[in-house]
Chain A
Amino acid sequence: MVEHAYLIPLLPFLVSLVILFFFDEDAHSPYAPYLGIATMFWCLVQSLVIFHQASSGAVHPWPYEGSWEWFSFAADSAGKGFSAAMPIGILIDGAAAVMLVVVTLVSLLVQVYSLGYMHGDPRFKRYYAYLSFFTASMLGLVVSNNLLVTFACWELVGVSSYLLIGFWFEKPAPAYASKKAFMTTKLGDCGLYVALLLIWAKFGSFKISMLAVSAATPGVLTPLAATAIGLGILCGAAGKSAQWPLFIWLPDAMEGPTPVSALIHAATMVAAGIYLVAKTYFIYAASPVAMEAVAWIGLITALLAATMALVAYDIKRVLAFSTVSQLGFMLCALGCGGYTAGLFHLTTHAFFKALLFLGAGSVIHSVHTNDMRQMGGLSKKMPVTFGTMFVATLAIAGIWPFAGYFSKDMILERVYGHNQVMFGLLTFAALLTAFYMFRMIFLTFVGDDRDHERHHHAHESPWVMLWPLCLLAFLSVVSGAALAHNGFFEHLVNYKLPEGLMTETLAPRLMPYAVTALVCGSIALSWFFYGRNDFTLAESLKARCSPIFSVLENRYGFDAIFLSLVAFSDRIAKFAFWFDSSVIDQFFVDGWGLITRICAELSGLFDNLFVDRTVDGFGGLSMDAGVLLRSLVTHGQVQEYLMYIAVAVSLFTILILSR
């Protein structure tokens, strides 16, 4: 089925259009969700078939590429004209096969879950149309073999995230959040756009397989160009994947419907940045500087986001910060040469983060608040949600045998081989992860109920919301072990690193055990602070370190920095407007107009006074002369005329004769 992989993005796209244009808005459209779900199920089946074919090595040649000509145009380079062809097509390698399964699976489960969560929403069908559109854009990004199409899909992902984050646009907060998300990611996209321009200038093609071959050829890609392109792509990825310093949009994006957050965080939006870096990994392979930048950006993000999650009380924001942090892990792994590790974590993370968000959605659906301070003790009321979320938390904390253990272990091992300072910091971020995730579990599900009213009305969600949770919980348990079994994932992804990036330093055999022990200690510390139904310790710590807490709660002031940047650019725009209106318009344009008018007046004056008067003067002169001459001869006497003639003739005669 790999030959028809192009249908996987196209079909949901068409379905989203069909839902949007042909279904009733008001009538609660009972069929719209089922159409979307059925399509996504079909896509999932196709993706699983492709995944199976890819893992069993049934596709030749591998990676599979199907390319058609899209358009061609005349180009000109260094004075030589040539015809450049732009292909459109699909490129299915190991990473794409995995991503297809992840995206379609998560999207399918989110859509099923939304049946319950979004029940009764007045824009139900539009919601499903957007979900399909969102998934289609991401799938297009995954399968495309052309960076230009990838970029287009990338922007479509941005548009659909804008539509879905601002889905409840009547409220000011979602409207603001969608705008912020869109604009922040666009800021990153500027870098990506520059990178694309550089790629075209350097390679004259956007076809990824061709770029990979060219980049590997010595002498084609200078390290400087590779660094510039790599940093540009990193800029785009940092916007999309909410990396430092462009992570400010993600916590606000929590204003969207919770299933959308699950989709954004697990499969479609933030994964795009990581996936794009992986897709253009050959560029980074040519530039150690860009590679190192990727690693450090990832590391900084992982640390900052983890610390910010420590103090958040909004259950979705904790998860949002944790996503940012985990994406930092992935980027750090990619930057350290851990192509496999990064993608592996992307895969496992998709499952347990989707689960966490859907679980949080279930909790919010039940207690109608995001604030964890008003929760507590929900485990008795919502056993399935609690159980599945607990599994996901264990997975994200990295406890054996849950999925996160394998992927995080792989990342740490790779980072240890690359740089041991990084390894220490990243391990610290992993410990923080365990701490804040268990803090969330303890605050939400354990202990006494802090808000009796809410607790009393709390109820377990309907099964249409629960069975996606159960399936994801199952995947969160087994996906890590299954994919890591006998190096299956590594074999599937099968990316051959250049010589320089292979690290020989191997992590000590005891490393995973040591990290697990530390994580367990971190969980115990979390229990000590938040799990005993006694918060005096946490409160006193908060009172004692209130400056640190306020810095963390203000997200290190990055929002303020960006807002001041916006205010600054606003001021620049105002100044430019002032300059334009009062200097350019009033001084130059209007002044030039004034000068022209004065010149015209002068010219008119000259024309009237001098030229016209001269002409009039000559006319008047001849008229006067005529009048004068007429007065000499105007008696009307024939004999007088005759005398003039006679005198004149005789004068002429005398004149002629006297010569």
Chain B
Amino acid sequence: MTLAHYLTLSGLLFLIGIFGALTRRNIIGILMSIELVFNAANINLAAFNHFRHPGGVAGQAVALFFITIAAAEVVVGLALVLAIYRNTDTVYVEEFSLLKG
């Protein structure tokens, strides 16, 4: 197991996350895909910490902070989803075009 394996894993996760975010119709799905992108970044942090600075803990610590922040962010995101759902009775993003100029 080398750094490249980890980086490949995180790259795949990132791409899957982006792909999901761009293609899912369900807003919950998009949130889940963004969580995947987050976790790709966290894997990167932990992997670089382990292989470049063995014995250091800064990477893991920042990854832990990120997980916490991601949890908070999901709370906000799900609250928004709930608000949207209550207002429009739908969770499909193509039916929102409030940003249309």
Contacts and interface: CB of A to CB of B under 8 A. Distances in A.
Same complex for A and B? Answer yes
Interface of A: 630, 633-639, 641-643, 646
A344 B18 CA distance: 136
A303 to B, nearest CB: 114
Given A643-B22, A646-B18, A646-B22, A638 B101 contact: no
A642 B19 CA distance: 11
A636 B96 contact: yes
B100 interface: yes
Contacts, number: 32
Contacts of A630: 101
B98 A636 contact: yes
Contact of B100 (A636, A643, A646): A636
Interface string B20-61: 011100000010000000000000000000000000000000
9 contacts: A633-B101, A634-B100, A635-B100, A636-B97, A636-B98, A636-B99, A639-B94, A642-B21, A642-B22
Contacts of B93: 637-639
A567 to B, nearest CB: 89
B21 A639 contact: yes
Contacts of A637: 93-94, 96-97, 99
A633 B99 CA distance: 10
Given A639-B23, A641-B99, 4 more contacts: A634-B100, A635-B100, A639-B93, A643-B22
- Closest A-B pairs by Cβ, 9 of them: A636-B100, A636-B97, A636-B99, A634-B101, A634-B100, A630-B101, A643-B22, A639-B22, A646-B18
A636 B93 CA distance: 10
B8 to A, nearest CB: 16
A635 B99 CA distance: 8
Contacts of B23: 639
A230 B99 CA distance: 106
Interface residues of B, number: 13
Contacts of B98: 636
Contact of A635 (B18, B22, B30, B97): B97
Contacts of A635: 97, 100
A635 B101 CA distance: 8
Contacts of A646: 18, 22
A636 B99 CA distance: 4
B96 A638 contact: yes
Nearest to A634: B101
Contacts of A643: 22
Interface string B82-94: 0000000000011
Interface in B65-91: none
Contacts of B22: 639, 642-643, 646
A646 B14 CA distance: 12
A199 B18 CA distance: 111
Contacts of A641: 99
B31 to A, nearest CB: 12
Nearest to B98: A636
B40 to A, nearest CB: 14
Nearest to A631: B101
A638 B18 CA distance: 13
A635 B93 CA distance: 12
Nearest to B19: A646
A634 B96 CA distance: 12
A636 B94 CA distance: 9
A641 B21 CA distance: 11
Q: Among A630, A633, A637, A641, which residue has the most Cβ atoms of chain B within 10 A?
A: A637
A635 B98 CA distance: 9
Contacts of B99: 636-638, 641
A547 to B, nearest CB: 114
B10 to A, nearest CB: 15
A115 to B, nearest CB: 112
Contacts of A638: 93, 96, 99
A654 to B, nearest CB: 14
A638 to B, nearest CB: 6
Contacts of B96: 636-638
B28 to A, nearest CB: 14
A219 B43 CA distance: 121
A633 B97 CA distance: 11
A645 to B, nearest CB: 10
A133 B22 CA distance: 117
Nearest to A633: B101
A636 B100 CA distance: 4
